[in-house]
Amino acid sequence: MSAGDHEDYDYVVDADGDGDYERIQAAVDGAKSFPRERVSIFVREGVYEEKVTVHSWNPKVDLVGESAADTIITYDDHFESIGRGRNSTFFTYTLRVCGDDFRARNLTVRNTAGPDAGQAVALHTEADRAVFENCRVLGNQDTVYAAGAGARQYFADCYVEGTTDFLFGGATAFFEDCRIHSKADSYVTAASTPEREPFGYVFEGCTLTADPDVSEVYLGRPWRDHAHVAVLRSHLGEHVHPAGWHNWSRPDAEETATYVEYDTEGPGARDGGERVDWASELTATEAEAYAKANVLLRESDERFAPNWYRAVTE
């Protein structure tokens, strides 16, 4: 369907008042709780300065922007501005997704707190079976919090930027054909994968880039002991540190974290000689385990979550 076919959507959001709602949160709040069918919300181009939450009672929401570049959800909360103690980071989001079977496309989600503000989340997603397509997620430290016990999230053709630990959390998240852009010498991921989960963050066919003055970026460090990150068939720029991975000054984590690569290319790719010895290169057979369907699907999905199943398999 085209963006102009507004009759194909349940609600239209327009900041100028030419729609069903002027605010995205109002459209989400107006949607039926626990719907039988999907609820589609079309967001016209504009800058929407608001904190948006898709609640757990709002599953099956499609949030569709008119264009990724010009449909922008933005806010500027950060750790110090929240004032909620040591857990303030988790209140800084611009967009928080708790409703399962969420799907977003053609949107920008940004946190404009700035590079010196500390932790400032743009996208906080703890939903299961959440899909983000052709989205831009912009921030600095802690840009994307991908979380949720047992939650699975799929990012396709997205652009994500940040400085320190800008992809963090314990979800199983698959990034396919995404651009991951570092804005400072620091760390891309800080996974906290639960020990019971077979996968954490998987990057397939991604491109890792950086600002011109950035030259020492680690692919990840373990926020929790069983962090699991895999980088497959991706292009790594020269900004990637030859060691690849960092133990967060906790040598014991080297025994429990899983950091693997397969068939990477580019000046920052693993060459077999300089990566830390506690991270590994997968064999072709081992890499097959990280196929998208194997990482993201469960036996019941085809029957009980058909939209998710199609998103992962098509």
Which sequence positions are flagged as catalytic? 142, 165
- Phi/psi region, residue 263 (left: phi>0; alpha: psi -120 to 50; beta: rest), is left
What's 292's DSSP letter? H
Residue tagged 């004032």 (tokens) = 83
Write the single-letter amino acid at 308: W
Separation between Cα atoms, residue 69 and residue 98, nearest integer Å: 24
Beta bridge partners of residue 131, listed in sequence order? 103, 154
Q: Are 261 and 282 in contact (CB under 8 A)?
A: yes
